[in-house]
Chain A
Amino acid sequence: MDLKGMVLMEWLTQVILMAATAVAFVAGWVAASFAVAMYVFGAGVLVALAVCTPDWGFYNTAPKTFLEPVSSDEAQFNILDLFPSEAAKTAAEIRVSGGEVPTRYNGSSGKRRKR
């Protein structure tokens, strides 16, 4: 079930059980028997269980999409891409002092350090 499906399922339980209570009351009043009311309500509970407990297709109309899984080599981040304004300022200082502007930061690479 996705999130919309969960909301739908909860709404359906309330509506089905409210309808079951109303129908059971009317049936018991008309038949002048409390046993009839209990049986009708029990049938309503079974209907609610059948509709709301299994993971039917109509509960999955907006499934949550996740990104493709990547390997740990590809999952490195480049700190120069994460902070471009700071990288530009440092690159300007390096050019003024006559050095070579790197495209990658060759220090820590963003992977978790192995202990």
Chain B
Amino acid sequence: MPLHNVAHRMNVVLTTAFMFLLVLVAANWLSHFALRAEPRLAVSVAKVNILTREDFLPRLPDMSRKYQPLRRDVANVSLAISMDLTPLFHWNTKMVFVYAYAEWPSKNNAVNQIVLWDAIAQSADDAVLEFPALGAEYRLSDQGFGLRGKTLNLTVVYNRIPHTGPLEWREYPMPSFTMPADYSQ
């Protein structure tokens, strides 16, 4: 189309600019292959604080199917966390999401998994996490009364969200821990 008025000329400039923007974004993604590095992650259970059982009927006039009685073991743990995520932060990283989950088999389920703790790091300044004994955000709970004396596997996962390109996540197995043999209260 000839360029005899301002509208046509602006169309040409902006379309070409958009094409070069795509080139810039693709170059950003390709550059991350040269900038990848491994972080250091270490999570373990410092202490199992409380292990109890919950066994009560909710006090409601309407005993409909929705309100089943809660019959489960519940535990509260403290985690020792030592992480250095700074190698993951380069110019193609938007944020890093890291979480730790516990895994164990039970009588009714082959595998039970519960996330115990998660954190978001938005820049390299928030990327160093050192907690000798941090109370976990979420409680460990079983479907039933099977947590006493159980050995649970701990795994920590990081999930790096880039500006351009596919998501990247990796799992690291951590030392397993054992629940106490009896309830604490």
- Knowing A28-B91, A32-B91, A37-B28, say if A1 contacts B17 (CB, 8 Å): no
Q: How many A-B residue pairs have CB under 8 A?
A: 66
Chain A proximity of B58: nearest CB distance (Å): 51
A18 to B28, CA, bound (A): 15
Q: Which residues of B contact A9 (CB under 8 A)?
A: 3, 9
Closest Cβ neighbor of B123 among chain A residues: A33
- Considering the chains assembled together, what is the distance between the CA atoms of A1 and B21 in angstroms? 27
Q: Determine how close the nearest CB of chain B comes to the CB of A106; give it in whole angstroms.
A: 44
Across the interface, do A13 and B24 meet the contact criterion of CB distance under 8 Å? no
Q: Is B12 an interface residue (CB 8 A)?
A: yes
Bound CA span A54–B4, Å: 11
* Cβ–Cβ contact B16 & A37, under 8 A: no
- Do the beta carbons of B10 and A24 come within 8 Å of each other? no
The answer to whether B91 touches A34, judged by C-beta atoms less than 8 angstroms apart, is yes
- Interface residues of B: mostly helix, strand, loop or mixed? helix
Number of chain A interface residues as a range:
20 to 34
Chain A residues with CB under 8 Å of B37's CB are: none
Once A21-B23, A34-B91 are accepted as A-B contacts, the answer to whether A53 and B17 lie under 8 Å apart by CB is no
Identify whether the interface residues of A are mostly helix, strand, loop, or mixed: helix
A-B contact pairs, 27 of them (CB 8 A): A6-B2, A6-B3, A9-B3, A9-B9, A10-B3, A10-B12, A17-B17, A18-B20, A21-B24, A21-B27, A25-B27, A28-B28, A28-B91, A31-B91, A32-B91, A34-B91, A37-B24, A48-B13, A48-B17, A49-B10, A52-B9, A52-B12, A53-B9, A53-B10, A53-B13, A54-B6, A55-B6
Seen from chain A, the residues whose Cβ lies within 8 Å of a Cβ on chain B are: 1, 6, 9-10, 13-14, 17-18, 20-21, 24-25, 28-29, 31-34, 37, 41, 45, 48-49, 52-55
Residues on B close to A: CB < 8 A?
2-4, 6, 9-10, 12-14, 16-17, 20-21, 23-24, 27-28, 31, 90-92, 163-164
